[in-house]
Structure 1
Amino acid sequence: MNHTKYENEVCAETDSAESCDDSAFMSECIPEEDGGTTLEDGAANAGPCASEKSGALADENAVLLKRVEDLTSAYLTLAADFENYKKRTQKHMEDVKKFASEPLMIDMIEVADNFERAIVSAEKETADKESLMEGVKNTYRQFMTLLESHGLSKISSDPGTEFDPHLHESVAQIPTAEFPDETIMEVFKPGYTLNAKVIRPAAVTVSTEPDE
């Protein structure tokens, strides 16, 4: 009887220990109403990490916005500078076009001065015809020299010169045995080139073979 009572007491202590262990396990693992951990407690533990990420994203967004503002400002400045450059270039081109003939005009003034002196001399009663003609010829030579200094050249088109359709313009064709075929007989208007470019062909009459 005593042995049985002792065995019952040992079993009761064992059951009590196992009951405590199970109670501790349930307290850690079951929901809050059963003494366990809640989802809110987990979210609270994760809160600081999410807050740091949110702050980092806000800082990065601020940096990007500042970068966009800087680039926009730089673009607007560049666009304004380019617009001003276009206006300056357009004005420069207009000035170049307007005053392109300035060097030629300065030289031509000298020729105009000589023509005025020749007119004044011709109006005088004591004017000598020969001296007047010599003054006009000198002025013409000066005039042509100035034009040549600016790239102007007279096209060779003396009578007897071979006709060149690139340099001459035929205003009439005359059958004759006096000149070879396709030869210049007379010059109605001289032709000119500017820096080797034909700006006006010489107007000439051209010989053709006479009819038999």
Structure 2
Amino acid sequence: MLARSAASSLRAAVRPGPRAARAAVALRFNSTDAKEEPKAADEAASKLAELEAKLKEQEKEMQYLRADYQTMSRRVQEERTKASDFAIAKFARELVGSTHVLGTALKHTPKPIEKGSALGNLYDGVELTRKSILQTLAHHGVTPMGELLGTTFDPNLHEAIFQVPAAVAPKKSDGADSQAGDIIEVQKEGWMIKDRVLVPAQVGVVQLEE
């Protein structure tokens, strides 16, 4: 009897109580969590890096799309401008021809002109008409090439009507000798429509050296 009681007491002493059992379970749980936390952190970091890479790739694609859109918009605008310029080019050439005729008439009108006379009134009317046409042309980007005497002949802008040898070519306005390719006479004014040639200038040049 005494031996049985001693054995029971020993088992009771050895058997863990409820509190000790809970502590043991918590220790095992916390130990498992501690092992899994680094793994979860690595997975989260990997996913974050993957998302950041995808985001950067999408940002690049958006930049390419914006650049393509801007390029396309610019080309469309350029094509519209070219189409508009082409549409008015034929009519503009006719108006330019009219200004040349009117300018020639004014240039060859006998001077002096008496103000208030029939000829004077006609002269003023022709001059006013020519100025009005020039203003209309300028509004659409059509402008004369400007002063060409003494400048160098450019086949992209000018049409050589005649050539003279350098030995008999007239001197420049500053008294210097004319060089090969210099424009010495303008027979018909040249015109531009924005940055393109509308009507090439008809000129006389110093003979080019061969």
- Aligning the two structures, in what range does the TM-score lie when normalised by the shorter sequence? 0.3 to 0.5
TM-score by length of 1: 0.38
Larger Rg belongs to: 1
Ranked by relative contact order (alpha carbons within 8 Å, sequence separation 6 or more), the top structure is 2
